[in-house]
Structure 1
Amino acid sequence: MNAAIDRKHFLQAINWAERPIEWHLEQYGSWLLVDENYVCLGASSVLGHLIDTVNGVCIDKRERIAPVCKIKDAHADAVADMLTALFKDENSKVQQWFKVVVMFYVEFKSEATIARKLGISEFTVARNKMLGLVRLATRYQFRCRIIGA
């Protein structure tokens, strides 16, 4: 059968209440780095990339350490579907909040780098990250470290 037909809606695909939304986002970021789910950022050469892949090392430009990936493909698909829905359904201001959330939790960028790339202050980055997480948690009733739910 077609994988798209068998794919459950992201809210039913996994147990979102088991862990905070920040954990799901970080695990999705880690999953992207495993087994070529995501192209390594900044690998110096093809040969170096192959050696790193064989040795289980991925050289990239992350500024924060990603946790060990503990999710399977179906879990990652659910997180990806959730992010796709968020960016499609929300207004541009809320999408800016989610962009900061993704850069911080999925791409493992520092707040300083996010501020520099987006041309905003670090305070604005911290605020947008908080607002994005709160919007995400309240929209879908996800657990979230910020609101203690």
Structure 2
Amino acid sequence: MALTVHGLDGLKKLVGGDLGTSDWIEVTQDRIDTFADATGDHQWIHVDPARAAEGPFGAPIAHGYLTLSLFIPLFTELLDVQGVTTKVNYGLDRVRFPSPVKAGSRIRLTAGLAEVEDVPGGVQIAVDGTIEIEGGSKPAAVLRSLSRFYA
């Protein structure tokens, strides 16, 4: 259940706080193949299960950018900002992929609100996120995401 915040001032009260942990989602081979089709990245390590089984990870792995793209649906489980007119992904300050996500693995997001800064007409937030792999010793992704909310 997402934490609901009303307006820009509600966001400012959350700085330095934990936003929680999302539910697990499965990264299926079908999701990987669909991402490959959407991006044109059909490298065998992602889309050829037989060949990937013989590769360095012993199975097909998700594209790093697929894992990164799942940040948004996972994040929407954590925070719902109401009373704003527009919500925009502004960018990323840092992204690392410490461990690959094998097809069939489940991932989830743990996040905290690091900063809120005023921008013309709204605020920009910086969220520190870690995408974990169920049973994994290292995260799939560690990132700082920037979003803007306009009143």
TM-score (norm 2): 0.26
Counting strand residues as a fraction of each chain, which structure ranks higher?
Answer: 2
TM-score (norm 1): 0.26
